[in-house]
């Protein structure tokens, strides 16, 4: 399962920017983020965002991060064309 996720991220990362939302994590829990990154073999250029799916502001922050990443990708593609 871990290898599958890593492979999927590598394949997707060739075309799209992505990040991982880590549910029930504190933004200050850097050790947990590091453990997840290591165990799932997530490359350093992929952001891991701590969030709490039961907290509206936390979910909003993750969705905004996703939206900004998509907008940056769209802008980058339009510059290349």
Separation of alpha carbons 30 and 3, rounded Å:
23
Residue 59, C-beta contacts closer than 8 angstroms, at least 6 positions apart: 51, 52, 53
pLDDT at residue 64 in the model: 93
Can you read off the two tokens belonging to residue 74?
Answer: 């769209």
What pTM was computed for the model? 0.65
Taking the chain, what is the end-to-end CA distance rounded to the nearest angstrom? 37
Q: Could you list the residue range(s) of the whole structural domain that residue 57 is in?
A: 2-80
**20 φ, ψ to 5°?**
-115, 130
Query: For the segment 1-53, what is each residue's pLDDT rounded down to a tens digit?
Result: 444 455 555 555 555 567 788 888 777 788 888 999 999 888 888 888 888 99
pLDDT at residue 56 in the model: 95
- Tally the domains of the chain: 1
pLDDT at residue 75 in the model: 86
Q: Compute CA 13 distance to the chain's CA centroid, rounded to the nearest angstrom.
A: 11
């Amino acid at each position: 399962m871990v290898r599958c996720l890593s492979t999927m991220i590598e394949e997707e990362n060739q075309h799209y920017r992505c990040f991982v939302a880590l549910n029930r994590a504190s933004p200050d829990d850097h050790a947990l983020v590091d453990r997840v990154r290591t165990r799932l073999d997530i490359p350093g250029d992929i952001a891991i965002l701590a969030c709490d799916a039961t907290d509206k502001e936390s979910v909003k922050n993750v969705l905004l991060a996703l939206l900004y990443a998509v907008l940056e990708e769209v802008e980058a593609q339009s510059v290349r064309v």
